[in-house]
């Protein structure tokens, strides 16, 4: 169906909407006669003032084809809609072609190729009403930096600049790249502003490039200029550092009503030089703002202190908008001074949402109702109180004789509170303010009634979470996560069925008391940077998790002299507890060929080891494979472990046995934006799970170094995605390529059968 649609779109006349006497710009190509390792034609495409309509799948202009499906009558709504969804034809413009050549020449000159030559050729086809443009580039030999010297009359500024020389991005031997020189100016300016030089800007840094006749070697001199005349600061006649005089917090700032002065009867002094103007609406304790403040009166002005204050205040969810306005004051006691005004606008402190869902499982009707309540400022310290409750019910038709319950029902609640600070004893206040962590406490209760059993899960948690600068790195330290699982009622036949399986541990009374650490790292630029036109070609993400459970309880059991039960297990509060260690990590890299095409790579692995008080991992802590985010030729939990072969007619057994202690996944995916919100994905997946022990019922599941590579499953497939900016809907179809399961076709790639080898997946978001 998809291929048919593409064929229909591609068959439309590409010049249908090109005005008479004009030409469609069909293709633009950049040819580099003497390619240099520093220059790629794909990079130079960004400097073109006019480019052809985007192509996908080897040359199809789907966006243009979709636009051309519309008629020329703009009064009809469907014509307007189709044209809005598609992309109009690019009409060749000779003026823009000349401008593109000039832009290419300038861009190459800025990168050190001063003697580059850019010419262009236009090939027109009047019959087809199309034009092709070729830009031919001769780079020439580049100019390079032979030496770097400094002309900085102010010794204080010279000391600050040269102390940071190890971090300079320009070195001898580099090409004379103007972009890098401008970045160097900016980094020097930021460094000086972090040392008090509030009024310093990059225009005070200039470069002089000296070249001998006929030579491409450049002797570069960095110069520092004296301040320009400034009517706003007539006293600023030489570069001098500024100090902070006062810091004023305005908690209820209104740009339409407020004036320049923010103090009076409603002002609260936090410390010497720091005050809070609350106005009539007092919603935050002053101490909270004091904890967030990093701008210290009497100290040198420092941009990093401003940024730290922004980040600290940004963690307070009751605040909607933050603006820090720094204003020069002038000379006070022979020192240049600034005042800082921290202008805050509050957000709604309470929200409530209700969710409803309905189900129909082969005629058994059901419903679910959920309520979420959140108070973002429960104690006037930006503490977030969240309460969740959900009720689910599904009727059970047919013969219910002998069952414990005649329906499926679940009642769950969760209560949590998050404090915007690091709550821990024996730690210095300076450390807590620096790390800017949040502390969360949660308790939860879940009652499950099923025809075969009744299960109760209760627990709680205590964790810390903090984010590094620019939100590119985050950490979560779970100090305590406790789950107590109780099964007060169960049907004997159900227990007999799982008695010899790994699943029985999840349906016996047991306890999991764990601690863990999660790490996240990415280089993805913030949205405001991308909106400024910067193109990020490579984006990576790293996720890593580690946790351990039962060690403290196991140590207490031994210290107290407790005796093990008949199964060799120790108990806490009369309940058997789990003991294990688990770690897993994932790395993904997306390379963007342009703004509409990319290729993404992902690799992930994990291992979990039970020991001490456990012979096997709790079922919910084991790994599984298959599904929308794994090897997509298999459904969720239908792959592995190892060469284990599942029974398509016994979903319960599959659920019980298709889990493992080791996982490995590797994925490769090509992504292309087709038209409107529609994207295409083509993928290759590989991976599996294994056990570390030879468990009963999981034949062929043990990881062995000399066999595991033979048990790696592989799949291929395609998918359609709908990108609505705020969320992405994904439908993927995967086909098995290599099936390691014993007794099944090992190479369905060579003998495909659609019904046997295909799986469809519906999900939200990219798989990695």
**C-alpha to C-alpha distances, 156 to 198, 208, 238, nearest whole angstrom:** 15, 22, 12
Residue 375 has pLDDT above 90, yes or no: yes
Residue 3 has pLDDT above 70, yes or no: no
Q: What are phi and psi of 586, to 5 degrees?
A: -135, 140
In the predicted model, what is the mean pLDDT of residues 195-204? 94
What local confidence, expressed as pLDDT, does residue 631 receive? 95
The gap between the terminal CA atoms of the chain, to the nearest Å, is: 27
| Higher per-residue confidence, 562 vs 100 | 100
Q: Which residues pair with 717 in a beta bridge?
A: 683, 734
Residue 652 has pLDDT above 70, yes or no: no
* Greatest mean pLDDT range, 8-22, 220-234, 495-509, 645-659: 220-234
What local confidence, expressed as pLDDT, does residue 530 receive? 45
Residue 6 has pLDDT above 80, yes or no: no
What local confidence, expressed as pLDDT, does residue 261 receive? 53
Residue 470 has pLDDT above 70, yes or no: no
In the predicted model, what is the mean pLDDT of residues 369-379? 95
In tens, the pLDDT along 107-133 reads 999 999 998 999 999 999 988 999 999
Instruction: State both tokens at 594.
Output: 């342009």
Pairing of strands 242-250, 274-277: parallel
What local confidence, expressed as pLDDT, does residue 468 receive? 80
Confidence of residue 500 (pLDDT cuts 50, 70, 90): low
In the predicted model, what is the mean pLDDT of residues 614-629? 89
Range scoring the smallest mean pLDDT among 71-80, 81-90, 716-725: 71-80
Confidence of residue 494 (pLDDT cuts 50, 70, 90): low
Bin 145: left if φ > 0, else alpha if -120 < ψ < 50, else beta: beta
Counting DSSP H helices and E strands in the chain, the numbers are 15, 29
Confidence of residue 11 (pLDDT cuts 50, 70, 90): very low
Residue 528 has pLDDT above 50, yes or no: no
Residue with tokens 């058994």: 364
CA distance 351 to 100: 52
What local confidence, expressed as pLDDT, does residue 654 receive? 61
In the predicted model, what is the mean pLDDT of residues 41-57? 87
Residue 593 has pLDDT above 50, yes or no: yes
Confidence of residue 672 (pLDDT cuts 50, 70, 90): very high
What local confidence, expressed as pLDDT, does residue 224 receive? 93
**C-alpha to C-alpha distances, 387 to 173, 182, 372, 587, nearest whole angstrom:** 61, 51, 6, 34
**C-alpha to C-alpha distances, 58 to 1, 61, 597, 672, 679, nearest whole angstrom:** 19, 9, 12, 11, 15
In tens, the pLDDT along 263-272 reads 555 678 888 8
Which sign does the torsion angle of CA 717, 719, 725, 728 carry?
negative
CA distance 642 to 661: 11
pTM of the entire predicted model: 0.83
Instruction: State both tokens at 216.
Output: 């491409």
Confidence of residue 33 (pLDDT cuts 50, 70, 90): confident
Residue 2 has pLDDT above 60, yes or no: no
CA distance 613 to 694: 18
Q: Which of 418, 354, 408 is nearest to 386 (CA)?
A: 418
| Contact between residue 681 and residue 669 where contact means Cβ atoms under 8 Å apart | yes
Confidence of residue 487 (pLDDT cuts 50, 70, 90): confident
Residue 532 has pLDDT above 50, yes or no: no
What local confidence, expressed as pLDDT, does residue 149 receive? 94
SS3 476: strand
| Contact between residue 363 and residue 385 where contact means Cβ atoms under 8 Å apart | no
Residue 650 has pLDDT above 60, yes or no: no
Residue 12 has pLDDT above 70, yes or no: no
Q: How much is the CA Rg of the chain, to the nearest whole Å?
A: 33
Confidence of residue 400 (pLDDT cuts 50, 70, 90): low
Residue 7 has pLDDT above 50, yes or no: no
* Greatest mean pLDDT range, 61-65, 231-235, 621-625: 621-625
In the predicted model, what is the mean pLDDT of residues 216-234? 88
Instruction: State both tokens at 237.
Output: 């006649």
In DSSP notation, 92-158 reads --HHHHHHHHHHHHHHHHHTT-TT-EEEEEEEEETTTTEEEEEEEEE--PPPEEEEEEEE---HHHH
For the chain, the average pLDDT equals 87
CA distance 713 to 627: 13
What local confidence, expressed as pLDDT, does residue 729 receive? 92
Residue 220 has pLDDT above 50, yes or no: yes
* Greatest mean pLDDT range, 169-178, 480-489, 519-528, 583-592: 583-592
What local confidence, expressed as pLDDT, does residue 4 receive? 44
Q: Which residues pair with 121 in a beta bridge?
A: 134
CA distance 637 to 689: 10
In the predicted model, what is the mean pLDDT of residues 342-356? 92
Count of C-beta atoms within a 10 Å radius of residue 660: 30
Q: What percent of the chain has pLDDT over 90?
A: 55
Contacts 24+ apart (CB under 8 A), 307-316: 307/469, 308/436, 309/342, 311/436, 311/467, 311/469, 312/433, 312/436, 313/342, 313/344, 315/382, 315/420, 315/436, 315/438, 316/284, 316/288, 316/292, 316/382, 316/420
Contacts 24+ apart (CB under 8 A), 112-115: 112/38, 112/142, 112/143, 112/144, 112/175, 112/176, 112/177, 113/36, 113/39, 113/139, 113/140, 113/142, 113/143, 114/140, 114/142, 114/143, 114/176, 115/140, 115/141
Residue 454 has pLDDT above 90, yes or no: no
What local confidence, expressed as pLDDT, does residue 618 receive? 87
Q: Give helix 155-163 / helix 178-193 axis angle, nearest 10°.
A: 110
Q: Which of 496, 491, 503 is nearest to 697 (CA)?
A: 503
The residues, ordered by sequence, that sit 6+ positions from 496 with a Cβ below 8 Å of its Cβ are none
In tens, the pLDDT along 564-580 reads 888 788 999 889 999 99
CA distance 107 to 43: 10
Residue 524 has pLDDT above 50, yes or no: yes
In tens, the pLDDT along 305-346 reads 999 999 999 989 999 999 999 999 989 988 999 999 999 999
Range scoring the smallest mean pLDDT among 199-213, 515-529, 679-693: 515-529
In the predicted model, what is the mean pLDDT of residues 57-84? 84
Catalogue all structural domains in the chain, each as residue range(s) with its CATH number: 2-127 (no CATH), 144-224 (3.10.20.310), 242-346 (3.10.20.310), 622-768 (2.40.160.50)
Residue 651 has pLDDT above 60, yes or no: no
Residue 409 has pLDDT above 60, yes or no: yes
Range scoring the smallest mean pLDDT among 50-64, 244-258, 358-372, 503-517: 358-372
Instruction: State both tokens at 203.
Output: 């225009």
In the predicted model, what is the mean pLDDT of residues 253-264? 62
In the predicted model, what is the mean pLDDT of residues 93-104? 96
E strand or H helix at 65: helix 62-68
Confidence of residue 533 (pLDDT cuts 50, 70, 90): very low
């Amino acid at each position: 169906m998809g291929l048919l649609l593409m064929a229909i779109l591609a068959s439309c006349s590409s010049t249908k909407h090109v005005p008479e006497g004009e030409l469609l710009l069909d293709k633009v190509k950049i040819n580099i006669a003497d390619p240099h390792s520093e220059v790629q034609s794909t990079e130079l495409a960004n400097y073109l003032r006019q480019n052809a309509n985007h192509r996908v799948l080897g040359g199809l202009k789907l966006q243009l084809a979709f636009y051309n499906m519309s008629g020329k009558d703009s009064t009809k709504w469907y014509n307007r809609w189709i044209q809005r969804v598609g992309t109009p034809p690019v009409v060749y413009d000779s003026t823009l072609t000349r401008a593109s050549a000039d832009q290419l020449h300038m861009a190459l000159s800025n990168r050190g190729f001063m003697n580059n030559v850019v010419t262009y050729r236009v090939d027109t086809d009047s019959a087809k009403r199309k034009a092709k443009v070729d830009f031919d580039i001769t780079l020439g030999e580049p100019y390079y930096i032979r030496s770097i010297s400094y002309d900085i009359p102010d010794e204080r500024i010279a000391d600050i600049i040269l102390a940071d020389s190890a971090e300079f991005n320009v070195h001898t031997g580099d090409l004379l790249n103007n972009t890098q020189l401008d970045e160097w100016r900016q980094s020097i300016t930021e460094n000086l502003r972090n040392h008090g030089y509030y009024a310093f800007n990059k225009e005070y840094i200039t470069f002089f490039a000296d070249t001998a006749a006929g030579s491409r070697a450049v002797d570069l001199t960095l110069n520092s200029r004296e301040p320009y005349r400034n009517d706003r600061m007539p006293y600023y006649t030489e570069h001098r550092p500024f100090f902070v005089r006062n810091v004023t917090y305005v908690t209820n700032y209104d740009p339409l009503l407020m004036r320049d002065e923010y103090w009076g009867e409603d002002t609260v002094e936090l410390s010497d030089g720091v005050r809070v103007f609350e106005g009539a609406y007092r919603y935050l304790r002053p101490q909270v703002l004091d904890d967030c403040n990093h701008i210290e009166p009497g100290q040198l002005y420092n941009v990093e202190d401003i940024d730290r204050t922004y980040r600290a205040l940004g963690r307070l969810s009751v605040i909607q908008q933050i603006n820090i306005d720094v204003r020069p004051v002038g000379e006070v006691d022979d020192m240049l001074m600034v005042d800082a005004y921290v202008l805050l606008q509050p957000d709604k402190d309470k929200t409530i949402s209700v969710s409803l869902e309905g189900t129909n499982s082969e005629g058994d009707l059901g419903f679910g109702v959920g309520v979420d309540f959140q108070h973002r400022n429960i104690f006037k310290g930006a503490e977030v109180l969240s309460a969740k409750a959900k009720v689910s019910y599904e009727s059970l038709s047919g013969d219910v004789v002998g069952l414990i319950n005649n329906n499926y029902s679940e009642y769950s609640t969760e209560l949590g509170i998050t404090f915007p600070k690091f709550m821990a004893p024996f730690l210095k206040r300076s450390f807590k303010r620096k790390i800017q962590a949040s502390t969360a406490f949660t308790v939860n209760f879940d009652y499950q009634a099923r025809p075969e059993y009744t299960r109760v899960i209760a627990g709680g948690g205590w964790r810390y979470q903090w984010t590094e600068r620019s939100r590119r790195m985050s950490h979560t330290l779970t100090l305590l996560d406790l789950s107590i699982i109780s099964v007060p009622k169960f049907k004997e036949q159900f227990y007999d069925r799982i008695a010899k399986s790994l699943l029985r541990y999840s349906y016996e009374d047991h306890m999991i008391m764990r601690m863990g650490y999660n790490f996240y790292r990415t280089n993805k630029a913030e949205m405001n940077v991308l909106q400024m036109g910067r193109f990020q070609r490579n984006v990576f993400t790293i996720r890593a998790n580690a946790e351990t459970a039962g060690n403290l309880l196991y140590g207490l059991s031994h210290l107290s002299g407790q005796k093990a039960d008949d199964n060799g297990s120790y108990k806490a509060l009369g309940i058997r507890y789990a003991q294990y260690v688990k770690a897993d990590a994932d790395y993904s890299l997306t390379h963007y060929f342009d703004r509409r095409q990319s290729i993404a790579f992902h690799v992930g692995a994990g291992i979990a080891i039970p020991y001490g008080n456990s012979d096997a991992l709790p079922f919910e802590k084991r790994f599984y494979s298959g599904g929308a985010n794994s090897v997509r030729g298999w459904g969720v939990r239908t792959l592995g472990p190892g060469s284990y072969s599942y029974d398509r007619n016994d979903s319960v057994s599959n659920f019980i046995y298709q889990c493992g202690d080791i996982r490995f996944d590797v994925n490769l995916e090509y992504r292309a934006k087709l038209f409107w919100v529609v994207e295409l994905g083509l993928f290759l997946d590989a991976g599996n799970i294994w056990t570390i022990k030879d468990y009963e019922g999981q034949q062929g599941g043990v990881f062995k170094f000399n066999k595991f590579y033979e048990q790696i499953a592989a799949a291929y497939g395609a998918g359609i995605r709908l990108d609505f900016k705020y969320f992405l809907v994904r439908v993927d179809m995967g086909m098995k390529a290599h099936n390691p399961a014993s007794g099944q076709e090992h190479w369905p790639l060579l003998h495909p059968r659609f019904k046997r080898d295909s799986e469809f997946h519906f999900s939200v978001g990219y798989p990695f």
